[in-house]
Amino acid sequence: MIVQAVKWIGDVDGFLQLIDQRKLPAECVKLRCRDVEQLYDAIKTLAVRGAPALGVSAAYGLVLAMQKLSADSNLKQGLDVLAKAGQLLASSRPTAVNLFWALDRVRLCAEKFIATKPTLSEVEGPSTKLQELRSAVLAEANAIYQEDVDMCRRIGQNGEKFIKQGAGILTHCNAGALATAGQGTALSVMFEAHKKGRKFKVYADETRPLLQGARLTAWELKHAGINVVIICDNMAGWLMKRGHISAVITGADRIAANGDAANKIGTYSLSILAREHGIPFYIAAPSSTFDLSIKSGAEIPIEERTADEVRFFEDKRIAPDDVDIYNPAFDVTEARDITAIITERGVIEKPNARKIAEHLQ
Amino acid sequence: MIVQAVKWIGDVDGFLQLIDQRKLPAECVKLRCRDVEQLYDAIKTLAVRGAPALGVSAAYGLVLAMQKLSADSNLKQGLDVLAKAGQLLASSRPTAVNLFWALDRVRLCAEKFIATKPTLSEVEGPSTKLQELRSAVLAEANAIYQEDVDMCRRIGQNGEKFIKQGAGILTHCNAGALATAGQGTALSVMFEAHKKGRKFKVYADETRPLLQGARLTAWELKHAGINVVIICDNMAGWLMKRGHISAVITGADRIAANGDAANKIGTYSLSILAREHGIPFYIAAPSSTFDLSIKSGAEIPIEERTADEVRFFEDKRIAPDDVDIYNPAFDVTEARDITAIITERGVIEKPNARKIAEHLQ
């Protein structure tokens, strides 16, 4: 079974159910968020993660916020609550573009509701329309959720043909159901091939320093009944050499206009090793991952993260205190080393600027 | 200062001082081994590791064993003690070829002493020659130690020219003073360049799963005053791409007649990535690492180690219980991707079977 990282349970008075990813893989605990402060903590402490999953969660966070309005609140108070909750949620992960986008989208929907439907007295006085506004906010959150589910499934359907019977597929980090509201991006391709009854094996790089591959990818593939083997990142090249890998499939965080793709550190090395061994290398990502304002990978800024992610394993120090550590979070794979980019719209083989522009039209 | 992993302190009644590598990098504790059982535990639990360091330690273990002989013991009893202690030490790390070699060498030296010097009555009766035998055993252990020290230094002297002023050197695992009685192999090259006053930076791969790079290499380079930066294994390719790496230098565990070299898992990938980026790739290893009975890398057996090395970090599980893990300990770098092999005898550029055979003559 494919896990569901993010799920709204019930109507406007319902709650948001998250798989608590802080506890994986030791245990699968469902976290019930019943107010926006609890969701803020969950996002902040990485109980939920992954750009699409964060966007959907934040949208539902606004539904939670409105549950606190008293029955005699007016619509203006409703908008105020949305604005305040939106500010709080936006401060949880300051670089999460999807989160801002989802919050904006719900806010705009609420503003549109108020601008078009009620009278001014209904906005400023006690309003019977408040329930309607709450329903409109839930409907917009549900729409964001459903679009993500559909997008994930279509990526998988567009890419599953690249996984042949008996294949050995290498993936890096977690581009799975745990990072989205749906069934993921790179892993969606595997889920769809699995649905078709194809037998294959997935090698999951453990993905240092945060081990998303070992902790999350391996867990959700196993949960879905797919044969998975964890390896350390430094073993991938040797497995290619020995003939165990027939394709590499990863996600992407940002793709430039020319097809250069930023993804979790280590992806670049895999693309070079794949080319060396004549192995196709696929990126699976929603079309919203393209940033056409960025011409090529050289312009993509690379986030450097704290040395402590490498130096400590939980509270145990594994490297000397006084030695420098370099911890870039991403690298950039060149378009020439990408066999194809798989999106919800289709497949861009041998991606280049022209093909990408056409694909996005 | 270059650390000393293994050091005999005193005369025949002295003790063996080890740096307790189980406690690195958190603290540098000197372990004083005063009997052979204590040394057995130290080897078994990896307080001391690295083929040359194990060989030297085991040789001194036989000196420790003979300290237990009473003053009225005869030479035959001396030989018995050596045999029994040798058996115990040989069982500590069953695949450590250097350990067996050193034990054999000391035993042969003792047998030779008895065969040539004393009379039969001295062998079977109380013997004033026992002190001489003990001295001969210590002298042989010291010889093994000194040969290792000299070998390490010569490797460094032969290779230091490959480290230019301002270089960025990448290394993998630990081929340093902590693995030998001397100043290591790959790291010896760095120590000698440092002695010449050259400034350079070393990038140490953390080296999953056992983290020898983060725990040991970084620590001993820092201790010697060399600028060192730890990276995760999956970052090396990206650093090459960004121009931070000007040479790769690693050790080797076994080198075939054609120059193919087995070393810690991950080395193969580095050799491919180095070639892709036009970066020279050096192996530094004693000439005893060549195994001419093995024609090429394809014949080198690759040890697979327990999944728990990857699944657990100390006692903390980082991967699901029920997911398979593949944990090969070594891989094989092809001779064509090795710029040069540096030994205590000199340098073999673009190694091949003919050049290697000549080098070893």
Closest-CA distance, B346 to chain A, in angstroms, reads 29
**CB distance A31 to A19 below 8 Å:** yes
The pLDDT of B117-134, averaged and rounded, is 79
The DSSP bridge partners found for residue A31 are A18
pLDDT(B38) > 70 = yes
Quote the tokens at residue A145: 């959720």
Q: Which residue of A has its CA nearest to B262?
A: A238
Summarised one tens digit per residue, pLDDT across range B200-221 is 999 999 999 999 999 999 999 9
Q: Which residue of B has its CA nearest to A277?
A: B272
Residues in chain B closer than 8 A to A337 (CB atoms): none
Quote the tokens at residue A284: 């699976």
Confidence (pLDDT) at B116: 84
Q: Which residue has the higher pLDDT, A71 or A166?
A: A166
Structure ipTM over 0.90, yes or no: yes
Give the C-alpha distances (Å, rounded to integers) separating B65 from B19, B57, B60, B144, B321: 20, 12, 9, 17, 43
Write the CB contacts of A75 (distance below 8 Å, at least 6 apart in sequence).
Answer: A114, A118, A122, A123, A124, A127, A129, A130, A133
The pLDDT of B311-334, averaged and rounded, is 93
The pLDDT of B149-174, averaged and rounded, is 98
Residues B116, A114: Cα–Cα separation, whole Å? 107
pLDDT(B271) > 80 = yes
Q: Are residues A208 and B318, on separate chains, in Cβ contact within 8 Å?
A: no
Residues B348, B361: Cα–Cα separation, whole Å? 13
The pLDDT of A293-298, averaged and rounded, is 95
Conformation bin of residue B28: beta by default, left when phi > 0, alpha when psi is -120 to 50? beta
Confidence (pLDDT) at A116: 85
Give the C-alpha distances (Å, rounded to integers) separating A24 from A9, A27, A46, A217, A237: 22, 5, 11, 10, 28
Q: Which residue of A has its CA nearest to B272?
A: A273
Confidence (pLDDT) at B15: 98
The pLDDT of B323-341, averaged and rounded, is 97
Residues B190, B224: Cα–Cα separation, whole Å? 10
Query: Before A209, cis peptide (omega within 30)?
Result: yes
Same topology between domain B6-154 and domain B162-360: no
pLDDT(B39) > 70 = yes
What is the phi/psi pair of residue A321, to 5°? Answer: -60, -35
In this structure, which topology does domain A162-360 adopt according to CATH? Rossmann fold (3.40.50)
What is the phi/psi pair of residue A166, to 5°? Answer: 80, 5
Residues in chain B closer than 8 A to A235 (CB atoms): 265-266, 326-328, 331
Q: Are residues B203 and A326, on separate chains, in Cβ contact within 8 Å?
A: yes
Residue A268, classed as helix, strand or coil, is helix
In this structure, which topology does domain A6-154 adopt according to CATH? Four Helix Bundle (Hemerythrin (Met), subunit A) (1.20.120)
Residues in chain A closer than 8 A to B273 (CB atoms): 269, 272-273
Q: Are residues A233 and B208, on separate chains, in Cβ contact within 8 Å?
A: yes
Closest-CA distance, B314 to chain A, in angstroms, reads 9
Confidence (pLDDT) at A126: 67
Q: For chain B, what is the mean pLDDT?
A: 95
* Terminal C-alpha separation, chain B: 35
Confidence (pLDDT) at A274: 98
pTM (two decimals): 0.93
Closest-CA distance, B206 to chain A, in angstroms, reads 9
Q: Which residue has the higher pLDDT, B354 or B126?
A: B354
What is the phi/psi pair of residue B347, to 5°? Answer: -125, 135
Query: Before B25, cis peptide (omega within 30)?
Result: yes
User: DSSP secondary structure string, B160-210?
Assistant: GGGS-TT-EEEE-S--SGGGSSSS-SHHHHHHHHHHTT---EEEEE--TTT
Q: For chain A, what is the mean pLDDT?
A: 95
**CB distance B115 to B91 below 8 Å:** no
Q: Where do the domains of chain B lie?
A: 6-154, 162-360
Share of chain B above pLDDT 70, in %: 99
What is the tally of helices (H) and strands (E) in chain A?
13, 17
Give the C-alpha distances (Å, rounded to integers) separating A226 from B239, B247, B322, B326: 34, 41, 12, 16
Residues in chain A closer than 8 A to B205 (CB atoms): 234
Summarised one tens digit per residue, pLDDT across range B219-241 is 999 999 999 999 999 999 999 99
Confidence (pLDDT) at B333: 98
Q: CB B244: neighbour CB atoms within 10 A? A: 17
Of the candidates B34, B181, B174, B35, the one whose C-alpha atom is nearest the C-alpha of residue B102 is B181
Residue B121 pLDDT class (50, 70, 90 cuts)? confident
The pLDDT of B310-334, averaged and rounded, is 93
Confidence (pLDDT) at A93: 84
Write the CB contacts of A339 (distance below 8 Å, at least 6 apart in sequence).
Answer: A280, A281, A282, A349, A350
Residues in chain A closer than 8 A to B173 (CB atoms): none
Of the candidates B213, B167, B207, the one whose C-alpha atom is nearest the C-alpha of residue B187 is B213
Catalytically active residues of B, by annotation: 253
Summarised one tens digit per residue, pLDDT across range A187-241 is 999 999 999 999 999 999 999 999 999 999 999 999 999 999 999 999 999 999 9
Of the candidates A75, A256, A274, the one whose C-alpha atom is nearest the C-alpha of residue A162 is A274
Write the CB contacts of A250 (distance below 8 Å, at least 6 apart in sequence).
Answer: A171, A172, A173, A175, A186, A263, A264, A267, A270, A282, A283, A284
Q: Which residue of B has its CA nearest to A225?
A: B323
Confidence (pLDDT) at A161: 98
Q: Are residues B319 and A25, on separate chains, in Cβ contact within 8 Å?
A: yes
Confidence (pLDDT) at B122: 75
Q: Active-site residue among A148, A205, A253, A260?
A: A253
Residues B133, B122: Cα–Cα separation, whole Å? 12
- Catalytic site includes residue A13: no
What is the phi/psi pair of residue B213, to 5°? Answer: -70, -50
